[in-house]
Structure 1
Amino acid sequence: MTTMIQMHNVSWVRGARAILHDITWEVNEGEHWAILGLNGSGKTSLLNIITGYQYPTRGEVEVLGYRFGRASLPEMRRHIGFVSSALDQFHDTLQTETVEDVVVSGKFATIGLYDAITGEDRDKAEALMESFRLQAVKGKRYATLSQGEKRKTLIARALMADPALLILDEPTVGLDLWAREQMLSLIAPIAARPCHVLYVTHYIEEIVEPITHVLLLRDGRVAAAGRKEDVLTDERLSEAFQLNIRVHWEDGRPWVSVRR
């Protein structure tokens, strides 16, 4: 079995403060993971390490066969798709682009188009737009889209380069209930590709059926990691979220209530 992500005793220290403590975690081929935890639990720092933008203070990391300290991290990043609110920093450039140009730019991992585009590139972007139900906004400026349409456009953009790993960092933030469910319905076709999903969220009910495993963080440590049915228990979630939580399952999807 191919290992997609492997971390062994990974810690990260910022100044005098330890943010991550002895993280040992493995993602194998065919697995799709959700990453859960309270604010400050270490989710963002973990993503920064996975994408090679932050180097661990201690420990060993290998992502997609690239071992940190021995391999080219910029080369590794070419195989990772990333959708996050961090892309908002490119807001001014994105606003002026058409939807299809935003999608095509994913081939080059750029915001804006600066390279020659082939007919094959356009055809691939069209197919992705169709897959993500974006045909109705073809030719429109990104600035005119709804929040849900913008999020789908960015996911299509991330898939343009056929990444082996797709990181969705809280992709439903700011969406209403209908748009959220539309977004979550896209995870199944993404998971059906030769692409492994890391889905970062605060909301347990967003762990839809195609997501197979959960990494639960608390205070920069692994509270639990494994198949979602084993991790998403009343006891483990209550401890991690410091609330009296009860979990029930419907159609392979967990829902929680808080007991007073």
Structure 2
Amino acid sequence: MPSKSSIILEVSNLRIQRDGTVILNEVFWRVERGQHWTILGANGSGKTSLLSTLTGYLMPTAGEVAVLGQRYGESDWRELRKQIGLVSSSIRQLMADSEPALDTVVSGKYAMIDFWGTPSKADRARAMRILNQIECAYLADRPWLYLSQGERQRILIGRALMGNPRLLILDEPCAGLDPAAREHFLQFLQRLGRNKKAPTLVLVTHHVEEIMPVFSHALVIKEGHILAEGLKESVLNAEILTNAFNTPVKLTRAAGRYHLTVTGKSQSVI
């Protein structure tokens, strides 16, 4: 059994139900230090609801959720949330067009959107170190409006890192990126995850092509239930993914990367 200090998050018998609809049911999941996870599933499978629960925005109907040693309902989730970095398209859409990238990174320390203060000398120095870490130092003075989608995603990761999180959740970070920008961003994620000081990464995606070698484990969700979870090599196979997406697929792997090909018609009614 792992020690409590090595457990990043633990979900036990989680159930989410709203207005008679069961969104998640009988979810058991544990993430330990040194692991990087990917969450995979079709639209409507329950991925977003699971994330909302982990970050304290959605209250469980039953079960227990513990993040960084603190249990939901027993701890101040507003404070705990500051230790969880979140990168999602919803945050990207809230940024002020005129805000320089450096200020966007600084705002992560205060969990603030549209940073209105003057960054302290210490905050600016730390933000510059992070910009260097995410390979974006050249963007420090560039306004949000003039950043590419890929640059915006990196800056949002920098913003999350400013809070020194132990857990970094990436909610479909490649959405809206063109193929070249997506690949550059994924290579950046690979370098970030290999850093010994990196927080635990949880990547939420629909696409196996986005699962970089640095991700060690996978969780596959279908219709609110966990279909499979564990080491990536044992979870990502054609049988499980055919079940997850209700469509016959072929899965290939080369150089640590996956590629999925649909080989038949969908088994669900459209």
| Greater Cα offset, 109-118 or 228-237 | 109-118
List aligned pairs for 1:14-25, cutoff 5 A: 14-25=18-29
Q: Percent identity?
A: 40
Structure 2 residue aligned with 1:173: 175
Q: Are the structure 2 counterparts of residues 117 and 137 from structure 1 closer, same or farther at C-alpha, using a change threshold of 3 Å? A: closer
Structure 1 residue aligned with 2:256: 252
201, 207, 213: which one aligns with 2:211? 207
Distance across 1 between alignment mates of 2:25 and 2:117 = 42
Q: Are the structure 2 counterparts of residues 26 and 42 from structure 1 closer, same or farther at C-alpha, using a change threshold of 3 Å? A: same
Q: Which amino acid aligns with 1:212?
A: S
Q: CA deviation at 1:134?
A: 1.8
SS at match of 1:70: coil
Are residue 145 (structure 1) and residue 147 (structure 2) matched?
yes
SS at match of 1:90: coil
SS at match of 1:106: helix
Answer whether contact 2:92 2:156 (CA < 8 A) is retained.
no
Distance across 1 between alignment mates of 2:140 and 2:134 = 12
Distance across 2 between alignment mates of 1:103 and 1:75 = 19
| Greater Cα offset, 208-217 or 130-139 | 130-139
Q: CA deviation at 1:118?
A: 2.7
Give the aligned length: 258
Where structure 1 has 5 or more consecutive residues not aligned to the other structure, the ranges are none
Distance across 2 between alignment mates of 1:20 and 1:254 = 27
Q: Which amino acid aligns with 1:254?
A: Y
Are residue 82 (structure 1) and residue 86 (structure 2) matched?
yes
Distance across 2 between alignment mates of 1:89 and 1:138 = 19
Aligned-residue CA RMSD (Å): 1.4
Q: CA deviation at 1:182?
A: 1.1
Are residue 217 (structure 1) and residue 228 (structure 2) matched?
no
Structure 2 residue aligned with 1:161: 163
175, 178, 200: which one aligns with 1:196? 200
List aligned pairs for 1:1-260, cutoff 5 A: 1=2, 2-91=6-95, 94-114=96-116, 117-191=119-193, 192=195, 193-260=197-264
Distance across 2 between alignment mates of 1:130 and 1:197 = 19
Answer whether contact 2:45 2:223 (CA < 8 A) is retained.
yes
Distance across 2 between alignment mates of 1:126 and 1:12 = 41
SS at match of 2:151: helix
| Greater Cα offset, 184-193 or 31-40 | 184-193
Distance across 1 between alignment mates of 2:171 and 2:133 = 21
| Greater Cα offset, 29-38 or 137-146 | 137-146
Structure 1 residue aligned with 2:268: none
Q: CA deviation at 1:112?
A: 2.5
Segments ≥4 residues shifted beyond 6 Å: none
Query: Structure 1-normalised TM-score?
Result: 0.95
SS at match of 1:143: helix
